[in-house]
Structures are given as C-alpha cells and as structure tokens.
Structure 1
Amino acid sequence: MDTLATHDRYFVQRKGCTGMLGLSSYQKGTAALRMLSYGSAADSMDEYVRMRGSTVSKTLQHFTRGIIAAYSPTYMRHPTSDDMVRILALSEKRGFPGMPGSIDCCKWVWKNFPTAWHGPYQGKEGVTSVTPEAIADQALWIWHAFFGMPGCNNNINVLEASLLLNNIANGNYPPPVEYSIMGVKRNVPYWLADGIYPKWPVFVHTVAEPLTEKEKCMTRHQEAARKDVEREFGVLKSKWNIISRPGRFWGTSFMHDVMNCCIILHNMCAEDRQDDNDPHFREQPFSRVVIGNDATPLWGEQGNTVGPATAPVGSFSALYATSAKTKDHQGYMRTRALIIDHRW
C-alpha cells in the first residue's frame, strides 16, 4: 500500500471539504483485492468495507494501474541470463534441453460486451470472450503474456498478433542461447505446444498417432511437460477468481489492466515460493549452455562467435534471417527428431 500511495495519490487518505477523513488506503486496497480474489460484485463491498459500488469500481481501476506501474518492470520482464540458466537446467533435467517453457491460450468470458462487438468477440462456442496467451515454466512463472484478441480467433491468430515472434527476432526473449542435444549444438530455443500451433522449429508438438515405442515415449513426456502452462492457467484462475467468472467490464482496456495485474500478483506468489527446499528454484548445474552475448544469435552461423559478419541486432537482415529460421519446416522436423531420440 505504501508503494501504491507513492505512485497514485488516490490511495493517500485525505480530508474532505468538511474536515473529515476519507477512506483509508487499506479500505481501498482490501476492496480491490477482494474483487480480484473472489470475483465479487462492486456493490457487495458495502457492508464489509463501507464503500459504495461506484467507488469500489473506481478503486479497482486505480489499483490495477498502480500495480502495473509499480511492479511490471520486475514481474512482467523478460528472463535474464540467470533466469535462463535456472529454467534450462530444469528443462534439461526433465529431458528437454533448450526448452524455456510451454505456450498456450485460454478464454475469458466477457459478459457486458457492447452489442456492436458481438460478432468479432463471439467464438465457435457461441460465447463472447477475450483470448489471453501465456508462456510459463515449471515453476509457473509467466514470462510472456498477451491479451486482448477477440474470442473468434484461434491460437494461430493470437500468435501472429502478439509480440512473441518479434521478440524472438529481436533477441529480446529469450536471450541468445546455445545448447547441445544428442551431440548436436543448436541455438534455436523451442516451446512445447499443442497440435494447433504451426510446425516451426520454435514449437515442439507431440506425436499425433504414435506407433513405435520411441514415439510413445515422446508423446508421454511431451504431454506431461506441456501441462505446466495448463496448470498455470488453473492456478491463475483459482487465485484470482475474477478471471474465471464472466467479465463485467464495459471495455477491453479495463480487462487488459485486470489481466496484467493478476499476472503480476501471480508472479509475486511464485517468487514467494523461492527457497532452498523448492526444487523449482534451486540452482542447477548446467555446463552445456551458453547464454547472452557469448551465444550465437539465431541469424548467425552455428559454431561461429558473434563478429563483424553477423548482422546487427534489430536490423532488417537479422529480422529476415531470424524469421526464415524460426519458420523453417525442415528445421522443425530436425528439432523434433533430435528430441525424440534424446527422450528415448
């Protein structure tokens, strides 16, 4: 509450024109947290915190924006080199070297949508909703989040609209990384995904119809590891019940702030679980990985260090080369074949 008060004077208790003290910062913070945690209606706070419904709705707006302004640089950031060392160590221990996490989308039902927007936001289920996209690791930390696409879009449309591919091309997320799998050095990270995602080297799917024991082994372990992002959505909705209930907002901008606020608070809870007894956050030895400036970027030739021959970060030639490499179907087949052999 002290941090929110420094970012937004709305949470500073002040006197009114009659000289009486107004609502305290803890009253406002309690009302906002109860709405996020329980999905309660604004007018249900009247007897508990002595606030009328319109004031509670205004408080929730200030609370979400204050949380985003104060904590998004820490809890909605891209992973650092130290974070990647921990994430890749856990991924290698699970049998997936070079895997920063799992990707998937879900739906947030929107109740109070404008009638004119009924068509774009109505999906194949006939329910009006908004689609969020997220990437989570084994510790359920959300490293990438994108929200706001109409519910008629599938995972591919959301992927094309999000900044994930741009961040990969720019080298922002994840940082350049080199790892070894089955004796082959690679610099293309990949995420575990379900069958709807395109067959690109940055996504690894399960085997749709496994026939051999090797393919069955790959299917079993890939589906088990990909449940991280499914668990993340379940934990996020159970902790912040406002997401699991139909949204009672009148615009997507407010829903966007609520979603980002819940993700930040979710990552705070994930950080609170860090201790020496938690295997998800324990430092793991990982000697076969190079991260950061010492690693060859995606548009560089594998095995060579970054030098004058490598295109500068963010240049058109680097973006073009990275886009071609991350969407190469032959590269996808090689990546999945190496992972199948490694798992076996």
Structure 2
Amino acid sequence: MTVEPTPPAGRPLDLPNLSLAPKVLLHDHLDGGLRPATVLELAHEVGYTELPADDAQSLAHWFRDAADSGSLERYLETFAHTVAVMQTPSSLARVARECVEDLAADGVIYAEVRYAPEQHLEHGLTLDEVVEAVLAGFAEGEAAAAATGRPIMVRCLVTAMRHAARSREIAELAVRYRDEGVVGFDIAGAEAGNPPTRHLDAFEFMRANNAHFTIHAGEAFGLPSIHEAIAFCGTDRLGHGVRVIDDIDLPPGADLAAESFEGAELGQIANIVRDKRIPLELCPSSNVQTGAVSSIAEHPFNALARLRFRVTVNTDNRLMSDTTMSKEFYRLAEQFGYGWTDFERFTVNAMKSAFVHFDERLRLIDDVIKPGYAVLIG
C-alpha cells in the first residue's frame, strides 16, 4: 500500500518568513532610509551639530515621532537632518550602499530608489557628481548583497522638487544617465499649491525621449492632482495615488477589510486609472503619518486591491516610518487577512510596473518571484 505524502503546509505569515519573500519596491526615498547610526557618524564627520539626539536609538525614535505629524509639510521637515549629512561623494556613496544592503537583507530583489540631486549641492558638487556617487554606491551595495547570497537589482529615479524650478534640468539628467542606472524621473515635495502642470516642460522632455516618469500625486492633495498627472503630464505611475478612492462610491456600509466590493461605482478618474492599469505606489505606514489616511484600518489599499487596481506595496521612507517591506506586508496581512498568494500578486504587480526593460522584468517574475512564493505557499 502506497501512502501519499501529505502536501506541505504553507509557511506561517510572520516577519521571519516575510523577510524571505521576494519583494519589489518602487517607491523608496534615499534620504528617507538612512541608518540612524550612519546619520550620527556622518554628522560628526561634516561637523553638523543640529541633530535632535546623540545616540542611534534616540535618534531613530525622534525621526519616527516627528514624522507622526499628520501633515505632509511637517513630515518633510525631518529630511533637513538627513540631507544635511549627504553632501559629499563619500557620504552619498555610503548611504546608497547601505540602502542596497538593507533592502537585500529584507528580501527585496528589485528596487527603484529615488532622491533629488538638487538637494545635495551645498558642498559644491555638480548634479552629475551627485548621480555618479549614488550610482557607485548602488553598485557597491549590489556586489555586497550578492556576496551574502541575496542578489538584488537597484535602479534609481532622479527627483525634482516641485516647489523649485529645476525640473527640466533634472529631467535632462535622467536621460543623460539612463544607460548608467537611472531609469526614470519624478517630482516630489509639498503637493498642495505645487501642481504637476508647473513642470510640463520636464514631462514633455521625458516623453520626447521615450523615458519613464512617475509623479507624486494624490497623497496630500486629491483628485485634481491625479487628474493633472494623468491627463496633462502623461505619468506612467502615480506616487501614492491613495486619494483615487475619493472618486469611488463604495457600497453603503462597506467594511474596508471586505473580500468583495461588488456594487462600487467608479468615477471618470478612477476608471481611467484602472482601465489604463496605471500603477499605484501605495505606502501604507507613510500615508498614515502624513495624514493621507487616518489609520491602516482606514487605508483604501484593500478596496483598491479587491477592485483590481494595480496596487503595489512600498516603504516611502524607512527611517521616518520605522519600516521595511516585510513590516508593510505584515501590517497589511494583520489588517486585511492577506496570505502569500495576495503578496505574490502585489509583487508581480510591482515588477510589471518597474521601469527596467521587459526582458528583465519577465526574468525576475519567472525565475525569482514565482519560485520564491511557491516555496512559501507550499
């Protein structure tokens, strides 16, 4: 008599196993992910004396607590300290290298990390020198991660500050380094009062050069920002985009943790976002901190996922939110009951939406993501 083997049970969905899951990260800010100890060491090196704490643990707590303001503008004020210690080639390369190492240790297999080169010129660097230092750091981090058995591919987006007037110059920088590891362009900063259409020249330049870009839209400001980003700027993705929920009438009394939102009615903007499969770079913990939503329980992630928008999970700023991709997955699982197959779908969504070429996306989906989740699903 032959006894059939018992099918293996799926692995528990806990933080140790989540760290093993292949993950794809599309929205992560370089200056929002420094190690607290690195901030302290770099501050000492450059003589920066404005830090609010003098030990790593206290500094980590300060960043998290200061970012929990419920205001995007106040949240952004915390970056004064990180940007201040990222003004030399060596500091930029170190931060970039450690970013890659930290992401790889958390199971991220592909990441697009963004930063604003114009914010790193205080010690005399040129825009090109900033980009070259960061790219060198990314390459060092990739080599170090591969040596530990956790290979990762990291590319970068160069960001223009939406309140400034250098967006065309930064767009040209993105195209100039497109074959060196810069895969796209972005605008960021205070959203209210700084509409994306102020930077049409930059977006037209990107389109003219067949280059990718994403736009921070629908985070601190609502549907008009999303509408402009899509209709006038032609964005490939929406940075956050969480406020697209304002254009959706959910069924009366709908529980945001429900498995179905049958009967939901989508407005014109929500329909075009879904119809065109425009990826949403959702950042749950950060969205709570900046006041885009009141809590994870009130986050529309699940409603958007169940309504088949192309949702992706992201960290935004790992230092300020005291988070990792694994923690973001875990918080979503706790709140909405997701399992491994859900996170596989969100990860494939992200990889499909990446700005690297199709063959690279397909290779990572087929050779890394699907086999990795097959082990976890059991």
Give the shorter-chain TM-score range. Answer: under 0.3
Report the TM-score, using the length of structure 1 for normalisation: 0.28
Give the TM-score, by structure 2 length: 0.26
Q: Which has the larger radius of gyration?
A: 1
